[in-house]
Amino acid sequence: MLSMNVEPQPPVSMQPNGEAHIASAVGFSGTMTGVVYLYTSASFGRQIAASMLGLEENEVDADEMVNDVMGEIANMVVGNFKSGLCDRGYSCALTIPSIVRGSHFTVEPISSTERKVYHYICRNRPLVVEVLLKIGEAPRGR
Amino acid sequence: MKPKILTVDDSKTIRLIVTKAFKPFDVEVFEASNGVEGLAVAAREKPDVIILDITMPIMDGAECLSKLKAHPELKNIPIVMLTAESGRENVLRIAKMGVRDYLVKPFKEDLLVERIGRIIELKAKGEGTVRAKRFDDPISLLVVDDKPAILDQMRSGMSDTPWKVEGRTQTGEAVDYCSQQQPDAILVSLSLPDNAGFTLFQMFRASAKTKKTPIFGLCVKTAADDQLRAQQVGFTGVITKPLDIDDVKSKICRALNLDTSYKYFAQRDGVLVMTLPANFNPNVANEIGLNLRPKVAEAVDSGLGRMIVDLSQVRTADVNLVKLILSAMQLCSELALKQRIVGTALVVQECRNYEESKDWQFSATYEAALNDINNAALAAAA
């Protein structure tokens, strides 16, 4: 669907550097509650949107198009993540996707939250998936 | 009437991808961004299939589905659910909802088309309205055979035509090729290991892209069991090895209904000219025979009253040739056309050996035939 290969890679700095970034987020709520962020540079977000929609990059003429694609990708990633949780007894429901854009922002967890950051590379551009988890009551029988 | 597809998804991206996937097909795609809109469009358009997302704002897919199933006019519309969740629990929940099928995101466009193609008939855009293809059009052939020599023979055999031969030695490669391209005809070896040729045939028939593509089985002349099985499962035909390239071309022409008449029929000098080639054989006789009546009728319809059968390139007159000329002469008589036959002395002599040729009028050259036929027409008018 995306027609791009994504490979894990060692952590790279995604600290604000003035470059415009885009982060799409989908949350899940239930026995396990949390949120997953998918973020990359805004320019690479545009390339991703073009690839997914089968368009040339210059045909992606609106940020809204990029937002929608990034939101949908986050939805697919978190949907599959949620399926894994549900199969292990952690039932939860997904939220609708949301988008954050900017050049000077960071995602910070609060103290009671577990944080996992996964770094990937795709067409030589970094792509980061950040999972923030707040574990509730363990499912029955676990 | 075009089949109607309704995509109900809050993601514009998914709706765009669905619309793009069906662009090559003669269908109408309608969009709705949530369950409420979906119900309204479904009630208005009565689509033939609905592709329904589960997680949506305002009204989600599950509620939309239950309302569709409760609606007397909409309850029988097949629903294909789209979900980003592939877990057991979710799949079981979807199965219980009474949907026809479901797809997990991310999905490939080809897979979506294939699944929808199982529910509604997907015809390529313009199918049935395009002009008939001619023998000299660039036809694409996919040949699947693990014997490279067969692929080479096919390529060299078709080198005198604009036909393009794509060879694949593995069935997986052939499936990949057909997911990107749409060949005009496919030839599959029936002797691939583990019945792979037959399995591949079933896969092609299950795919919306190739379900109507002519598919020929390739096998040695003596493999009677394979030939019988191929006919039983629905192959378009069987082409035997060693390959007879003229026979291969002829079978493909017939399967694709290619127009070959221009090779043998022409209207010039106020006359319909039927020219028989040097390589006259039963296949050529069959091709000309199929075109003879419509071409003569077309000539009469356009005001021509004369026909010349040009045998000057033919080396020998066998029974097939005599039968064909006899049909042409009978047709000329039926439609009151003046006719002449051009042939070498040898061919004329060979024709004369048949009783049926006693009334045929021969001329030595095309020019002489034209002159003779014009004089005969003038004499008849006088």
SS3 string of chain A?
CCCCCCEECCCCCCCCCCCCEEEEEEEEEECEEEEEEEEEEHHHHHHHHHHHHCCCHHHCCCHHHHHHHHHHHHHHHHHHHHHHHHHCCCCEEECCCEEEEECCCCCCCCCCCEEEEEEEEECCEEEEEEEEEEECCCCCCC
Comparing CB atoms, the residue among B12, B88, B107 nearest residue A1 is: B107
Whether residue A102 is contained in a domain is answered as yes
CB contact under 8 A, A1 and B105: yes
**Domain boundaries, position A106:** 7-135
Whether residue A140 is contained in a domain is answered as no
Comparing CB atoms, the residue among A52, A65, A86 nearest residue B87 is: A86
CA distance A18 to chain B (A): 28
pLDDT at B127 over 70: no
Q: Which residue has the tokens 């006693």?
A: B358
CB contact under 8 A, B85 and A83: yes
CA distance A13 to chain B (A): 28
Q: Over chain A, what is the mean pLDDT? A: 83
Beta carbon pairs, A and B, within 8 Å: 69
Confidence class of residue A13 from pLDDT cuts 50, 70 and 90? low
Confidence class of residue A36 from pLDDT cuts 50, 70 and 90? very high
| pLDDT at residue A141, as a whole number | 46
Q: Which residue has the tokens 């997680």?
A: B55
Confidence class of residue A142 from pLDDT cuts 50, 70 and 90? very low
CB contact under 8 A, B84 and A1: no
The answer to whether residue A99 neighbours chain B at the CB level (below 8 Å) is: no
Measure the CA angle with vertex B9, ends A31 and B126; round to 5°: 150
Measure the CA angle with vertex B270, ends B299 and B352; round to 5°: 80
Alpha carbons within 13 angstroms on the beta-carbon side of residue B46 total 5
pLDDT at A33 over 60: yes
SS3 assignment, position B103: strand
Chain A residue with Cα closest to B9: A72
* CA–CA gap between residue B134 and residue B259 (Å, rounded): 4
Q: Which of A71-85, A105-119, B185-199, B269-283 has the lowest mean pLDDT?
A: A105-119
CB contact under 8 A, B11 and A72: yes
The answer to whether residue A76 neighbours chain B at the CB level (below 8 Å) is: yes
| Residue (of A71, A42, A76, A38) closest to A57 by Cα position | A42
| pLDDT at residue B184, as a whole number | 93
Total of domains in chain A: 1
Whether residue A55 is contained in a domain is answered as yes
Cα separation values, B324 from A26, B104, B231, B318, Å: 75, 60, 30, 10
Whether residue A142 is contained in a domain is answered as no
Q: At residue B347, what is the residue type?
A: V
The answer to whether residue A83 neighbours chain B at the CB level (below 8 Å) is: yes
Q: For the residues B326-344, what does the mean pLDDT come to? A: 90
CB contact under 8 A, B13 and A68: yes
Chain B residue with Cα closest to A69: B13
Return the structure tokens found at A135.
């574990």
CA A30 to centroid of chain Cα atoms: 19
Chain B residue with Cα closest to A50: B13
CB contact under 8 A, A2 and B106: yes
Whether residue A60 is contained in a domain is answered as yes
| pLDDT at residue B13, as a whole number | 87
- CATH number at A72 reads 3.40.1550.10
Select the residue from A38, A75, A81 to test the B interface by mutation, using most B Cβ atoms within 10 A.
A75
The b/e string for B41-60 (b: 16+ C-beta within 10 A; e otherwise) is bbeeeebbbbbbbbbbeebb
Determine what percent of chain B is predicted with pLDDT higher than 90. 46
The answer to whether residue A2 neighbours chain B at the CB level (below 8 Å) is: yes
DSSP 8-state symbol, B290 = H
Contacts with B108 from chain A: Cβ below 8 Å? 1
Contacts with B92 from chain A: Cβ below 8 Å? none
* CA–CA gap between residue B221 and residue B239 (Å, rounded): 9
Asked if B359 contacts B329 with a C-beta cutoff of 8 angstroms, the reply is yes
Select the residue from B7, B10, B11, B34 to test the A interface by mutation, using most A Cβ atoms within 10 A.
B11
| Residue (of B297, B319, B321, B318) closest to B307 by Cα position | B297
Asked if B250 contacts B283 with a C-beta cutoff of 8 angstroms, the reply is yes
Where helices occur in B264-318 by DSSP H, the ranges are 282-301
Whether residue A1 is contained in a domain is answered as no
- Dihedral (Cα; B169, B173, B179, B185), 10-degree rounding: 0
CB contact under 8 A, A79 and B83: yes
* CA–CA gap between residue B101 and residue A49 (Å, rounded): 27
* CA–CA gap between residue B244 and residue B242 (Å, rounded): 7
Q: For the residues A37-60, what does the mean pLDDT come to? A: 87
| pLDDT at residue B155, as a whole number | 93
CB contact under 8 A, A53 and B16: yes
Confidence class of residue A14 from pLDDT cuts 50, 70 and 90? low
Whether residue A141 is contained in a domain is answered as no
Contacts with A68 from chain B: Cβ below 8 Å? 11-13
Per-residue pLDDT tens over the stretch A90-133: 888 888 889 998 887 777 777 778 888 899 988 888 889 999 98
The answer to whether residue A60 neighbours chain B at the CB level (below 8 Å) is: no
Q: At residue B234, what is the residue type?
A: G
Sequence-distant (6+) residues with CB within 8 A of A88 are: A139, A142
Per-residue pLDDT tens over the stretch A52-67: 888 888 888 788 889 9
Residue scoring higher pLDDT (B41 or B105): B41
Whether residue A41 is contained in a domain is answered as yes
| Bridge partner list, B103 | B82
The answer to whether residue A25 neighbours chain B at the CB level (below 8 Å) is: no
| Residue (of A116, A91, A97) closest to A32 by Cα position | A91
Determine what percent of chain A is predicted with pLDDT higher than 70. 88
Return the structure tokens found at B126.
């313009």
CB contact under 8 A, A1 and B109: yes
CA distance A84 to chain B (A): 6
CB contact under 8 A, B90 and A83: yes
